Amino acid sequence: MTDTKKPWGGRFERSPGRFLDEFGASLHVDKRMWAHDIKGSIAHARMLAETGVISSADADAIEAGLSEIYREIRDGKFEWHIADEDVHMAIERALTERIGPAGGRLHTARSRNDQVALDTRMYAKGAALELLAASSALCEALVTMAENHRETIMPGYTHMQKAQPVLFAHHLLAYFWMLTRDATRFRHAYEAADVMPLGSAALAGTTFPIDRQYVAGRLGFSEVSPNSMDSVSDRDFLLDLTYACTVTMVHLSRLCEELILWSTDEFGFITMDDTYATGSSIMPQKKNPDFAELVRGKSGRVVGDLVGLLTVLKGLPLAYNKDMQEDKEGAFDAVDTTIAALTVLTGMVPAMRVNADRMLTGAHGGFTAATDLADHLARAGMPFREAHEVVGRLVLDLEGQGRTLQDLTAEEYAAVHASFGPETPAVVEIRNVVERRSSEGGTGHAAVVAQLERARDTLEVDIAWSESAAE
């Protein structure tokens, strides 16, 4: 029968009982860190042997026992027990059952406080790299689609009203640059987590002659924490990771909002692939963009994950407090949800069909060339505010007539104002309107080609950083 005696039970006459055991347990959440826990424990045991705190024979037995447990968990054969409270005690209990007293020496010079900090940092580093990979995949999909639509023109919007025509590639690249900023935040989260806390013990360090640098090197950490109290109570790196996930999900939600709008009959700019849509249980004609809607909806939950973690941490005195057990569930959810959402969109974007003709038709509506017409008058010497007034009145008149700026002949323009010359119809031709915006970062063709080259370079740098960090 499994011994479920508490590792801290010596000071107590009565145990909490089953209900409180279950209330206080985190095993259902933190057992996903089992691999990190085992790797950290092997490194700790080897360090204890190197410094003479335990014998090499004990360290060998510990490593062999932990390796056996690793294989059992990996293969789904390990038995978890809620009375163990958490992943740390579950593994230590199993180890001691296997190897006897040597297993009890593993926890020398270590507390669960610095142990969980280590496991969580190892998790956060790995999660940041997974997020970077998923983000890079979506960036690749966006850049590839942008490259395929360098000539496709669509209406750009402000206040959800048609404003000026833009290249579809330019619009897609706006989301690419959002995601590159998200990648920067994921890299920062990785670097914030890349500090080794083990050796801080409960809060004040340890009396044993440990070698923290040895453990840091073995586990791939860049440095060790400088203050033991801060080390066991710091969850800033989890905040950084969860915040990065939150901003990414906000960006993905905005993208999904546009994809949902564009897929409606009213817009008709894109057609969702059947793989990324579902039907109605009652309306046979429906093709619903459910997966884009789900990403949009799940973004709210990830925002809640961040707020929850901030709220857990906001009033905690130093050093470790049990409240911090609640740090992982929201962070895990934020990471899992963000990776899933990035993966969904990585498939959805290249699979959708772009209706370029409908986009171009849309760009002709809404008087999207009006600013260029006002600029044309300003170049002829008219004060811009006066030019704005002249074009505004013209738009009002044409709106009442059901006509567009492109419908007017040179003679009709001249009748509106003497400053309009024979070149005016070409001024408002939609492709010309787009091409004029050749400023760096603009939507003109040459500017977008340059932007695409820069995007490719940026993506290569991001991927190279991730590959280097993963080595």
Active site residues: 159, 280
Is the four-CA dihedral 265, 179, 196, 324 of positive or negative sign? negative
The token duo for 131 is: 């997020």
Q: Cα(225)–Cα(212) distance, rounded to whole angstroms?
A: 9
Q: Which of 80, 104, 98, 77 is nearest to 30 (CA)?
A: 80
Q: Cα(312)–Cα(326) distance, rounded to whole angstroms?
A: 7
The token duo for 287 is: 């093709």
Asked if residues 114 and 232 have their Cβ atoms less than 8 Å apart, the reply is: yes
Q: Cα(132)–Cα(459) distance, rounded to whole angstroms?
A: 11
SS (H, E, C) the chain: CCCCCCCCHHHCCCCCCHHHHHHHCCHHHHHHHHHHHHHHHHHHHHHHHHCCCCCHHHHHHHHHHHHHHHHHHHCCCCCCCHHHCCHHHHHHHHHHHHHCHHHHCCCCCCCHHHHHHHHHHHHHHHHHHHHHHHHHHHHHHHHHHHHHCCCCEEEEEECCEEEEEEEHHHHHHHHHHHHHHHHHHHHHHHHHHCEECCCCCCCCCCCCCCCHHHHHHHHCCCEECCCHHHHHHCCHHHHHHHHHHHHHHHHHHHHHHHHHHHCCCCCCCEECCHHHCECCCCCCCCCECHHHHHHHHHHHHHHHHHHHHHHHHCCCCCCCCHHHHHHHHHHHHHHHHHHHHHHHHHHHHHHCEECHHHHHHHHHHHHCCHHHHHHHHHHCCCCHHHHHHHHHHHHHHHHHHCCCHHHCCHHHHHHHCCCCCCCHHHHCCHHHHHHHCCCCCCCCHHHHHHHHHHHHHHHHHHHHHHHHHHC
